[in-house]
Structure formats: C-alpha cells, structure tokens
C-alpha cells in the first residue's frame, strides 16, 4: 500500500495551496517573510502520508503549512524563512534529520528555530541528541492526530484563530 487508501484521501484546499504558492513566490522574489501573518509550520518528512497527515491536522488552524519530502527540498525555503515551528523526521534518504538539525543550529538564522522531532526511532540516545540540539518535543511515531494538534496549539497559541469559537479560549 502506497499513500493513503481511497477512503483516507483528503482534499487539500485550493485556498491553502494558493496561499502557499503566493508565499513561495514572495520568498523567491526576495520579499521579507510576512511577519504579521499566521504562524508558519514547516514539515520535513520523506513520508508522503505524514505530509498529508499534517495538512489534515492543520486544516482548520490559522497557520501556513509548508511540507518538504527531503532535507534538500527544504533547504532553499529554510535559507530565507524561519518557521514558527519545524517538524523534523530523522530517518530520511538524503540526510539524517539530527545531522541536518546540527547544521541548522550552526547558522545564526536557525539557532533558535523551534523544532519538534517526529520519528519512529524510540531510543534514549536519539532523545538525548535531540535535547542537546534544543528540540522542544520528541514525538514517536505512531502518534495521534490529537497529539500533534494539541502540540501545535500549545507551542503556537496564535494558531487557534480560525478554530470555531467554542474551541478558542475566551479572550481577555
């Protein structure tokens, strides 16, 4: 089985795609990242299912989601944008996620980028390495939709804007 089965196929909103595209164009044109827009979430994971999973989790959150299938694919984007939250897989074909994170941490623009590791690797040594690289959370696959949603809401409180009123903590 490759990708989600038919019943699980999830529509990706055209509006979301258009917004992503305009962001990417703005980035390509060298315009500064819109500082006051919704928070930016980046996912780097070679699993296409995980990337769709994130589209689904963030569908009704007020965030801008950018997903990449490899470290190499994510590099041009991360060279200009500091996401509000970066979800990073470890075992990827082109580069180990923890090695990549170490490289990012050595760049001034990503020294403090908030990172959450998502991996099937459930070993104390990886958790310790991730901790030493300032990772906020280490999430082991399989994780529930709710876990990731709660994590985003906790780490990005501003992302709740487009939730139904009942889901938003009362203002003031």
Q: Which residues here bind other proteins, judged by CB under 8 A?
A: 1-5, 7-8, 46-50, 53, 72, 90-96, 98-99, 102-103, 106, 120-126, 129, 140-145
Give 17 or 123: the residue with its C-beta nearer to other proteins: 123
Give 19 or 56: the residue with its C-beta nearer to other proteins: 56
Give 94 or 157: the residue with its C-beta nearer to other proteins: 94
Q: Smallest distance, Å, CB 129 to other proteins?
A: 6
Q: Smallest distance, Å, CB 55 to other proteins?
A: 12
Q: Smallest distance, Å, CB 52 to other proteins?
A: 8
List the one residue out of 115, 120, 145, 101 whose CA is nearest residue 46: 120
Give 81 or 148: the residue with its C-beta nearer to other proteins: 148
Q: Smallest distance, Å, CB 92 to other proteins?
A: 7
Given a contact cutoff of 8 angstroms between Cβ atoms, the answer to whether 163 and 59 are in contact is no
* Contacts of 6 by beta carbon, 8 Å cutoff, 6+ apart: none
Question: What are the contacts of 48-53 at 24+ separation with CB within 8 A?
Answer: 48/3, 49/3, 49/4, 50/89, 50/118, 50/141, 52/3, 52/4, 52/10, 52/12, 53/145, 53/148
Which tokens sit at 119? 């991996």
Give 14 or 125: the residue with its C-beta nearer to other proteins: 125
Q: Smallest distance, Å, CB 22 to other proteins?
A: 29
**Partners of 67 in beta bridges:** 43
């Amino acid at each position: 089985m490759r990708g989600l089965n038919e019943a699980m196929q999830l529509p990706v909103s055209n509006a979301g795609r258009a917004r992503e595209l305009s962001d990417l164009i703005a980035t390509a044109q060298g315009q500064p990242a819109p500082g006051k827009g919704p928070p930016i979430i980046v996912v780097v994971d070679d699993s296409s299912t995980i990337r769709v999973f994130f589209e689904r989790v963030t569908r009704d959150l007020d965030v801008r989601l950018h997903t990449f299938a490899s470290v190499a694919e994510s590099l041009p984007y991360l060279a200009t944008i500091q996401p509000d939250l970066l979800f990073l897989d470890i075992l990827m074909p082109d580069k180990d996620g923890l090695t990549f994170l170490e490289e990012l941490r050595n760049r001034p623009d990503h020294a403090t980028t908030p990172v959450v590791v998502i991996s099937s690797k459930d070993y104390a040594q990886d958790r310790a390495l991730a901790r030493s690289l300032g990772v906020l959370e280490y999430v082991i696959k399989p994780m529930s939709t709710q876990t990731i949603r709660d994590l985003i809401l906790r780490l990005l409180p501003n992302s709740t804007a487009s939730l139904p009123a009942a889901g938003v903590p009362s203002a003031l």
